[in-house]
Amino acid sequence: DSGVTQTPKHLITATGQRVTLRCSPRSGDLSVYWYQQSLDQGLQFLIQYYNGEERAKGNILERFSAQQFPDLHSELNLSSLELGDSALYFCASSVATSAGFHYGYTFGSGTRLTVV
Amino acid sequence: AQKVTQAQTEISVVEKEDVTLDCVYETRDTTYYLFWYKQPPSGELVFLIRRNSFDEQNEISGRYSWNFQKSTSSFNFTITASQVVDSAVYFCALSGLPGGSQGNLIFGKGTKLSVKP
């Protein structure tokens, strides 16, 4: 167990639907990152939150949104789903120190989304 | 812009062979971090190593070793005496300072390693 919890592990849904993926970061980690891994695009950074605030955006579609709550858990909302959204979605968390020292990222086991 | 290139898409070796996975990176940051992750068929991402831009010492951990060369912007990974359990996709990744706008990981496309008995 890495300490980062992602739910659900598997999700099958139909095109046009909306789903929510949940991530609980490792205890003490303030930053949460979402990544999408698809066969053709590899591991793509979607969005980063730090202590409740959006810090950086990557290749995130407008149909996708995310937020980080006061208890630091994060949710990734995917709407108007298309077949091409089928992928493995990872959440990662990290500690950011004032000195900038990097303790690394801890990844969850991912949510496998299948859109049919 | 930050970029990571893993030119080798797939590598196949026979057990006990040594294999080197190449990684070349691009960044304008003076402080950055390099990582290697392993993704076995089960799908999880397994952390292997983290290196900061100020530490160019090579590192060895058992059968794994890493060669960081700032002059060529490379961070190569060698597995000595490969084993079937080493079969996986290996990702090289780059990040800036955590918490900042460059704190996210930029991954290479990955190298699929197959080790045959």
The string of pLDDT tens digits covering residues B11-62 is: 999 999 999 999 999 999 888 999 999 999 999 999 999 898 988 888 888 9
Paired strand residues for B76: B67
Does B38 or B99 have the greater pLDDT score? B38
| Contact state of A55 with B101 under an 8 Å Cβ cutoff | yes
Q: A3-17, A97-111, B26-40: which range is least confident on average?
A: A97-111
pLDDT for B73 equals 96
pLDDT for A40 equals 77
Of B2, B102, B107, B95, which Cα lies nearest the Cα of A55?
B102
Element (H, E) at B64: strand B64-69
Could you tell me the maximum CA-CA distance found in chain B, to the nearest angstrom? 45
Paired strand residues for B81: none
Please tell me the distance from the alpha carbon of residue A56 to that of residue A45, in angstroms, as a whole number: 9
Residue B97, pLDDT above cutoff 80: no
Which residues of chain A are within 8 Å of residue B105 when distances are taken between CB atoms?
A: 33, 35, 43, 45, 92, 105
Residue A71, pLDDT above cutoff 90: yes
| Contact state of B31 with A96 under an 8 Å Cβ cutoff | no
Q: What does pLDDT average to over chain B?
A: 92
Please tell me the distance from the alpha carbon of residue B19 to that of residue B79, in angstroms, as a whole number: 5
* CA–CA min distance B39, chain A (Å): 11
Element (H, E) at B74: strand B74-79
